[in-house]
């Protein structure tokens, strides 16, 4: 049996016993089962998914309650928002609560350059400054976000100013104006999901170059179903141990899916 997480939420708040994660045999791309999932240090990869903060929080709750050891977290768009708060020390329930505490309409103001986007994320950056430490280096855990540069290059950012980078990762083109990140010349930046909704490929490349381990760390990917035909690819075919948890795209936005099925990747192909 693969891993299954189950749960529900109300108003963006996770119930105390909402999520559970049961472990079983997991097949990897190289057909080598993870011998003991609870003793394996996992990298978490949180995909984009328009306003799907509660789904990511539910996934984090499942990981939390299973006592899985986490090595690092990569987040894109909604995944960047949820992942950053989790790495800052908030529990999964606190992540859900904080990201639903202020109605989105209260954080949106018209963009001063409407040709760049309808709304500005200035107030979102201000809100993130209340919730997050100033820099990536101040986090409790290794964390990175996916963004797209002014010239359309997909980039991983894991150092320097944190609130601005997280907001930039969620700056959906045409809806939100791009976000400048102090000290970075390639900006302003926009939602990394335009290039790759997952971010696993760029994260694995980074870990391969800078990690201390001889092999790629296993990755647990939370992939929320695509909500826009204009979002980027879903790069999952990498030569590492990867488990994908697929979450349906549901409304209302704070609904946390009742069950998550973890799919298996064998030889780079998703097996349902």
Residue 36 known to be catalytic: no
The stretches of 102-240 forming alpha helices (DSSP H) are 122-131, 162-169, 200-210
| Positive or negative: CA dihedral 50, 120, 115, 182 | negative
**Residue 196 C-beta-side C-alpha neighbours within 13 Å:** 21
Q: Is 157 helix (H, G, I), strand (E, B) or coil?
A: strand
| Closest by Cα among 123, 195, 103, 116 to 163 | 123
Quote the tokens at residue 271: 């097996």
Cis peptide before 158 (omega within 30 of 0): no
What is the C-alpha to C-alpha distance for residues 98 and 90, in angstroms, rounded to an integer? Answer: 9
Buried b (16+ CB within 10 A) or exposed e, 62-87: bbbbbebebbbbbbbbbbbbbbbbbb
Helices (H) and strands (E) in the chain, counts: 6, 16
Q: Is 258 helix (H, G, I), strand (E, B) or coil?
A: coil
269, β-bridge pairs: 266
Residue 214 sits at φ, ψ, to 5 deg, of -80, -20
Catalytic entry in 52, 55, 77, 149 = 77
Catalytic site residue from 43, 191, 201, 216: 191
The answer to whether residue 77 is catalytic is: yes
Residues with a catalytic annotation lie at: 77, 191
């Amino acid at each position: 049996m693969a891993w299954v997480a189950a749960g529900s939420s109300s108003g963006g708040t996770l119930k105390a016993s909402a999520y559970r994660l049961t472990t079983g045999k997991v097949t990897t791309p190289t057909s080598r089962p993870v011998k003991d999932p609870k003793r394996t240090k996992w990298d978490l990869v949180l995909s984009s998914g328009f306003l799907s903060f509660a789904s990511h929080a539910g996934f984090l709750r499942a990981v939390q309650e299973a006592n899985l050891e986490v090595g690092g977290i990569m987040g894109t768009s909604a995944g960047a928002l949820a992942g950053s708060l989790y790495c800052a020390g908030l529990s999964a329930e606190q992540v859900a609560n904080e990201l639903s505490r202020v109605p989105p309409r209260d954080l949106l103001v018209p963009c001063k350059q409407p040709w760049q986007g309808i709304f500005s994320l200035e107030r979102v950056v201000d809100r993130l400054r209340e919730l997050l430490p100033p820099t990536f280096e101040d986090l409790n855990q290794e964390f990175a976000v996916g963004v797209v540069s002014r010239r359309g290059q997909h980039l991983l950012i894991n150092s320097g100013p944190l609130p601005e980078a997280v907001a930039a990762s969620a700056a959906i083109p045409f809806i939100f104006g791009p976000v400048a990140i102090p000290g970075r010349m390639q900006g302003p930046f926009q939602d990394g999901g335009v290039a790759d909704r997952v971010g696993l490929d760029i994260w694995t490349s980074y870990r391969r170059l800078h990690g201390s381990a001889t092999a790629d760390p296993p990755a647990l990917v939370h992939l929320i179903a695509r909500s826009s035909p204009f979002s980027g690819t879903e790069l999952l075919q990498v030569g590492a141990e990867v488990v994908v948890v697929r979450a349906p795209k549901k409304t209302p936005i704070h609904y946390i899916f009742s069950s998550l099925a973890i799919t298996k990747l064998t030889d780079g192909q998703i097996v349902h």
